[in-house]
């Protein structure tokens, strides 16, 4: 299935049905009075977060969604049927934004979460509603309320426990394929990965989800190389694994550049726990790793580990470091939930 993390769609809720003008006509019942029923409610446009989806590709081929209008009222006090709702089934992690992309209308973060994007119009009142002591035979009714229409943007931000960051060709996809069942495209040239991938990683009987995003370049926070959209996929991660190609021209400068991009992007990406992993050390001179680790720590890097996804060397310590941070974050999150539940 092709990956798509952004789509623009048109939504329109159903119009309310008109009320009826009707009078009771029955043998031996003179002056039967009004019996016009109300119109039905228009259908809603509902966004629903469902499990098992990780792309918005369906919304590339169908972009217009119109709910059914309510049926008209009828005589004998019969109300019109309500219009059917249109349910937009979206991946967990989808944000719904206004047409100008400045206002977040909804953020679907858990399975089963739903929100009414466009409420259907209210059905009009029939003439029976207007009967009074001074007007026994009203000849008026209401037309139904119009539905609401708008264009909205759907933007998917993948939900994962750990995010893989790095410049192009740093070995991120190789690492993900080595530690999970995910099979992203791998090749010896930059920008092999063109869209994010998810993989479930297991270590010491525990599991977590890891997201691999395409390589980032300078100016990513401004959209260079679609970096702004890719950074959004690790915005919800609990921790970041920053892979650095030790054979690169200046690994320390590469780390500093990406840290600057995280800070410029905003949110709390810059403050998330980070583990730095040095890759491709088998192609460097002996003792180079020690000097590189020292240089990174001198520049402010926290935990720096060495690894080789190809040979498996150093992979287990990295995974254990990641799961420790993730477990701590999960425990803190659970404590906050329990505190909210018990608050008066």
One-letter-per-residue 3-state SS of the chain: CCCCCEEEEEEECCCCCCCCCCECCECCECCCCECCCCCCCCCCEEEEEECCCCCCCHHHHCCEEECCCCCCCECCCECCCCCCCEEEEEECCEEEECCCCCCEEEECCCCCCEEEEECCCCCCCCHHHHCCCCCCCCCCCCCCCCCCEEEEEEEECCCCCEEEECCCCCCHHHHHHHHCCCCCCCCCCCCCCCCCEEEEEEECCEEEEEEECCCCCCCHHHCHHHHHHHHHCCCCCCEEEEEEECCCCCHHHHHHHHHHHHHHHCCCCCCCCEEEEEECHHHCCCCHHHHHHHHHHHCCCCEEEECCCCCCCCHHHHHHHHHHHHHHHHHHHHHHHHHHHHCC
Handedness of CA 148, 149, 151, 156 (dihedral sign): positive
Q: Of 124, 156, 188, which closes a domain?
A: 156
- pTM for the structure as a whole: 0.74
Domain shared by 178 and 225, yes or no: yes
Domain shared by 244 and 170, yes or no: yes
Domain shared by 176 and 292, yes or no: yes
Half-sphere exposure of 291 (CA within 13 A, CB side): 9
pLDDT in tens, the chain (344 residues): 567 888 999 999 999 999 999 998 888 877 788 999 999 999 999 999 998 888 888 898 899 999 999 999 999 999 999 999 999 999 998 999 999 988 999 999 889 999 999 999 999 999 999 999 899 889 999 999 999 999 999 998 877 888 888 887 777 778 888 888 766 544 443 444 456 777 888 888 888 888 887 767 666 555 554 446 677 778 888 899 988 888 888 888 888 888 888 888 877 788 888 999 888 777 777 778 888 888 888 888 888 888 888 788 888 999 999 999 999 988 888 887 777 655 55
User: Looking at residue 216, what is its pLDDT?
Assistant: 74
Residue 106, token pair as written in the block = 């909804």
Domain shared by 46 and 24, yes or no: yes
Q: Of 125, 156, 187, which closes a domain?
A: 156
Domain shared by 133 and 262, yes or no: no
- The domain that holds 136 is classified in CATH as 2.70.210.12
Domain shared by 95 and 166, yes or no: no
CA distances (Å), 312 to each of 77, 174, 247, 293, in order? 75, 11, 18, 20
Domain shared by 211 and 255, yes or no: yes
Instruction: Report d(CA 307, CA 331) in Å as an integer.
Output: 28
User: Looking at residue 131, what is its pLDDT?
Assistant: 92
Q: Of 156, 185, 206, which closes a domain?
A: 156
- The domain that holds 167 is classified in CATH as 3.40.50.300
User: Looking at residue 188, what is its pLDDT?
Assistant: 46
Domain shared by 116 and 134, yes or no: yes
Estimate to the nearest angstrom the gap between the alpha carbon of 119 and the chain centroid: 22
Burial category of 27 from C-beta neighbours within 10 Å (exposed 0-12, middle 13-18, buried 19 and up): exposed
Spatial contact of 230 and 213, defined as CB atoms under 8 Å apart:
yes
User: Looking at residue 250, what is its pLDDT?
Assistant: 86
User: Looking at residue 237, what is its pLDDT?
Assistant: 87
Domain shared by 141 and 208, yes or no: no
User: Looking at residue 127, what is its pLDDT?
Assistant: 94
Domain shared by 149 and 257, yes or no: no
Task: Find the domain containing 19 and state its range.
Answer: 1-156
How many structural domains are present in the chain?
2
Domain shared by 99 and 183, yes or no: no
Which residue shows structure tokens 């952004």?
6
End-to-end CA distance of the chain: 47
Domain shared by 172 and 315, yes or no: yes
């Amino acid at each position: 299935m092709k990956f798509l993390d952004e789509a623009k769609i048109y939504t329109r809720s159903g119009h309310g049905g008109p009320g009826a003008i009707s009078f009771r006509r029955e043998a031996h019942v003179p002056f039967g009075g009004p019996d016009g029923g109300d119109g039905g409610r228009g259908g809603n446009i509902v966004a629903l977060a469902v499990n098992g989806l990780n792309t918005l590709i369906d919304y590339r081929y169908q972009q217009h969604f119109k709910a059914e209008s309510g049926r008209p009222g009828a005589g004998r006090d019969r109300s019109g049927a309500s219009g059917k709702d249109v349910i937009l089934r979206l991946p967990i992690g989808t944000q719904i934004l206004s047409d100008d992309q400045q206002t977040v209308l909804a953020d679907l973060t858990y399975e089963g979460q739903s929100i009414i994007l466009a409420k259907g119009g209210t059905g009009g009142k029939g003439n029976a509603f207007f009967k009074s002591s001074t007007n026994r035979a009203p000849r008026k009714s209401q037309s139904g309320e119009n539905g609401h229409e708008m264009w909205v943007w759907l933007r998917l931000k993948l939900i994962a426990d750990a995010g893989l960051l790095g410049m192009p060709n740093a070995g991120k996809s190789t690492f993900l394929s080595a530690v999970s069942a995910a099979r992203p495209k791998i090749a010896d040239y930059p920008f092999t990965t063109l869209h994010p991938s998810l993989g479930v990683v297991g270590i010491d009987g525990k599991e977590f989800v890891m997201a691999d995003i395409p390589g980032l370049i300078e100016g990513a926070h401004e959209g260079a190389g679609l970096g702004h959209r890719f950074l959004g996929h690790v915005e919800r991660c609990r921790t970041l694994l920053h892979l650095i190609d030790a054979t690169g021209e200046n690994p320390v400068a590469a780390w500093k550049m990406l840290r600057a991009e995280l800070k410029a992007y905003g949110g709390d990406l810059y403050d998330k726990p980070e583990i730095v992993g040095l890759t491709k050390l088998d192609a460097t001179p002996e003792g180079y790793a020690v000097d590189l680790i020292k240089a990174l720590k001198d520049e402010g890097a926290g935990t720096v580990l060495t690894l080789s996804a190809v040979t498996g060397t150093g992979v287990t310590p990295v995974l254990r470091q990641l799961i420790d941070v993730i477990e701590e974050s999960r425990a803190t999150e659970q404590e906050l939930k329990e505190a909210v539940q018990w608050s008066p």
